[in-house]
Structure 1
Amino acid sequence: MTGDDGAVAIESADDVELKGNGQCLLFQLKHSLKTTPTAMTIRSKGLWQTLKAWIDVLPGLTLSETLFHLVTVAPITRGNILETLGTPGADRKPLVAALVQEAERVVAEREAAAQAKKPLPYADRAAGCEAFLKLTPDGRLNLMRQTRIQPGTMPIDQMEGAIAQMLTLIKPEDRASVARRLIEWWDRQVVYSLCKKRPQFISRGELQEYITELIGDIEHDRLAADFETIAHPSDYQPDGMLTRQINLVDGKSHDLTKAIREEWRARQQRSKWVNDRPNMAAIIATYDHILKEYWSDRHAEIVESCEDLEDAEKRSKGLGLLRWAHNDAPTTVRPIVPGFEAPYYVRGSYQVLAIDQEVGWHPDYATLLADKSS
């Protein structure tokens, strides 16, 4: 659909609902990862399950403004009557007659089984057959006139590569990365839609805006803050060294909570950047050096000022340094690249470095951590 008013909803009136140009298009998706999916016929359960789903929503639709699409990776055998659905304007009456005959066969065999007190056959398609027979003759024909089938479509595990090939405005070497980020964005919008955290329909304009943003990121070599709004898993357990470092300075529960959250985000971000762009490993290492230098200047001051202080005062000074890494460092240290302003990366990277004992909060952290009883 090419209209500027195009919009998509997932699990709305159908698996996929597409609106635009005054039309409503409903899509039933039948995926398979089989190398050779079983060919679809008039007896296929997927066909009858699809018909049942469409018949259920008919009362809420204007049929003349709605097109129904069955999209399947399965092929249709040449000469099969279902091929009619792939030809717009083709006579649908023979297909309707064949569907009625098949539905009546299924219903009759189930009734015979019931009378013989045998297990009922065709449980996977019976509801669709019964619903189709309950339609009026004109209702069946009109439904089929608005129905299309797309057999032999691409399996889902090939979609990312296909999307990459469609991104012709982007340099070939960047297309795979952009396609991956585009799918991640799309999946996130779908989840938000299903959870009612955003409008149900994802508009064409939103998609175009995000693609433009991705192109801009590439042109200006910007980095995306992929984890800024993502919470760490509830069962995430950070390295014990993070907790030990914070305990040395009597950090409070909110200090620990923030440290765990930001450490997870920064670690995930570092990993994603390196996977997407291997040259980022050198950039990250250089930035870690800058972070350590900023920390070192402040830590050295604390060490000198604490030479004659009691341990309680040393802990207090160290807690101040920890909170500097949380609160002030993100605006004090320059970003890893121009334009990247997400504070979680600086906060979390300091925790990553603390886990590796390349930085610490207590003036005597290196000595204390070497002592296993600390």
Structure 2
Amino acid sequence: MTSSNAGGSTAFGAGDSALGYLYQIRVALLTSLRRIDPGSDADFSIYLETLDDVVFESIGTPLELFQLKHHINSQANLTDASPDIWKSLRIWIEGRASGDIAPDDRLILITTHAVAEGSIASRLLAVSRDEVCAVTVMQATAQTSTNAINKPAYELFLALSKQEQAALVSSIVIAPSSSNIEQVGQDIRHEIRLTVKRDHIDSFLSRLEGWWFTASLKHLIGGSKVPINSGDLQAQMDDIREQLVSALPVDNDILEHMVDMTSYENEIFVHQARLVGVNDRRVLAAVRDYYRAFEQRSRWVRENLVMVGDIERYELTLCEEWDLTFNRALDDLGQEEAEAAQGQMAKMIYQWVETSCYPIQKNVDNPSISRGSLHMLANDLRVGWHPQFMSRLQHLLGSRMQTL
């Protein structure tokens, strides 16, 4: 299990356990990005919380098992009796004994702590290794240390034959002074820096991490049985990049958000829909589209994917399309002012709204953006559905201004 420093809450404002899981998910993404080979079709699988914190599996190669140790205070060194080392050893020894971990599987300890020269950890780095000396110091530590937390691990290690101890240690790589959770975020940013244009990096990164977190959550909820596949990660990267290059991203978190109808009951666009006489489900659909268009457009502007002027030009287009449709319907209505005839016209206009799809940019064809943008205009009474919408609802605009 990923660890963090002891204590209650951390400087990051989250509990140690939650911080450890987030660190685990981020490191898994970073490591996956570093492993992807654009020139190869070979996929690999990623597991969380199975044999180890993170496990990478590629067909035809040994597993790579990662133990992750995250500490807020990264200035301390790993000592020879460090629980970071011995807890990991206990997990690996038990895994090898049960057969879950194969003899040739790679065992990797990633820790934010540093290592002191001459320590066990310093002799098991990726380079400059001295496995014989490491085994000797581990034997001495297990025999003489009084650390009660490590006692089960000491006993397991000493119970191994000398050959088994040597084989175990030869499979271990320790990666000290690793990035903490904030630094891993910067490492991920560095890794994807050439994937998209510089001014799209933040937009790309937020969407990629959002997808990865959701995929990791589903993986964990499912008992870590179905792995996260590197091919899916690559496909998601390609999709996000394509949206940023040739279109605008329409984000799933916005599309999937459950809207609270009660928060919008007094909005003018809701009164516009009710003036038409549509049923509650269609009013709820209007609220959903309004939310999606408002949130997505706001995000695009914040991320500099569209400019305010682009939004204004889009709204002008929508107003012009509405004006043609509305005035055509007025011509068909003629001098008939009966309430029933006006209601029929309003229903026809509203049906046009519900079936409209005017892309704000090429390939941005999600109809919620078009419909929701029309409802946003209706909320300011710039457009309307009932032939007398202005005279019947203008007082609401004045009331809304008084409450601001």
TM-score bracket for this pair, using the shorter chain length: 0.7 to 0.9
Let me know the Cα RMSD of the aligned residues: 3.3
With over 3 angstroms needed to count, the CA separation of the structure-2 counterparts of 1:40 and 1:258, relative to structure 1, is farther
The count of corresponding residues between Structure 1 and Structure 2 is 347
Q: Which amino acid aligns with 1:366?
A: M
Cα shift readout 1:40-74 (whole Å, capped 9, x = no counterpart): 33444444444454455442524223222221222
Point out where structure 2 has 5 or more consecutive residues left out of the alignment: 1-34, 400-404
AA partner of residue 270 (structure 1): R
Contact 2:70 2:180 in 1 (8 A): yes
> 1:81: which partner in 2?
120
Structure-1-length-normalised TM-score: 0.79
Secondary structure of 2:107's partner? strand
Residue 266 of structure 1: how far off its partner (Å): 1.8
Residue 39 of structure 1 is matched in structure 2 by 77
Pick which of 296-305 and 259-268 moved more: 296-305
Identify the residue that residue 44 of structure 2 maps to in structure 1.
6
Of residues 128, 135, 138, the one that matches 1:96 is: 138
d(CA) in 2 for partners of 1:32, 1:366 = 62
Q: State the partner residue of 1:273.
A: 300
**AA in 2 matched with 1:84:** R
Q: Which amino acid in structure 1 is aligned with residue 46 of structure 2?
A: V
Q: Structure 1 pair 26/251, CA: closer, same or farther in 2 (3 Å)?
A: same
| Cα distance change, pair 233–141 in 1 and its aligned pair in 2 (3 A) | farther
Q: How does 1:14-29 map to 2 (within 5 A)?
A: 14-20=52-58, 21-29=60-68
Deviation at 1:25?
1.0
From the superposition, tell whether residues 203 and 357 of structure 1 become closer, same or farther in structure 2 (CA, over 3 Å).
same
Higher RCO, Cα 8 Å, sep 6+ = 1
Structure 1 residues 100 and 275: alpha-carbon distance in aligned structure 2, compared to 1, 3 A threshold: same
How do 1:330-341 and structure 2 match up within 5 A?
330=357, 333=358, 335-341=359-365
Is 1:287 equivalent to 2:309 in the alignment?
no
Q: How many angstroms does 1:329 deviate by?
A: 0.3
Distance, in Å, in 1 between the alignment partners of 2:223 and 2:274 is 38
TM-score computed with the length of structure 2 as normaliser: 0.73
Aligned-partner Cα distance in 2 for 1:197–1:129: 30
Is the Cα contact below 8 Å between 1:40 and 1:76 reproduced in 2?
yes
Q: Of 140, 143, 160, which aligns to 1:137?
A: 160
1:345 corresponds in structure 2 to 369
Contact 1:306–1:363 under 8 Å retained in 2: no
Name the aligned partner's letter for residue 93 of structure 1.
V
CA contact (8 A) 1:161 1:176 kept: no
Q: 1:187 aligns with which of 213, 232, 251?
A: 213
SS at 1:17 equivalent: strand
Looking at structure 1, the residues matched to 218 and 250 of structure 2 have their Cα atoms a distance apart, in angstroms, of 18
Aligned to 1:116: none
Deviation at 1:255, TM superposition (A): 0.5
Aligned partners of 2:208, 2:61: CA distance in 1, in Å? 27
2:250 matched residue in structure 1: 225
1:254 to 260, 281, 299: 281
**Residue 149 (structure 1) aligns with:** 174
User: Would the aligned equivalents of 1:165 and 1:175 in 2 still touch at CA under 8 Å?
Assistant: no
Matched, 1:297 2:336: no
Offset at 1:313? Answer: 4.4
Provide closer, same or farther for how the CA distance between residues 168 and 260 of structure 1 changes in structure 2, counting only shifts above 3 A.
Answer: same
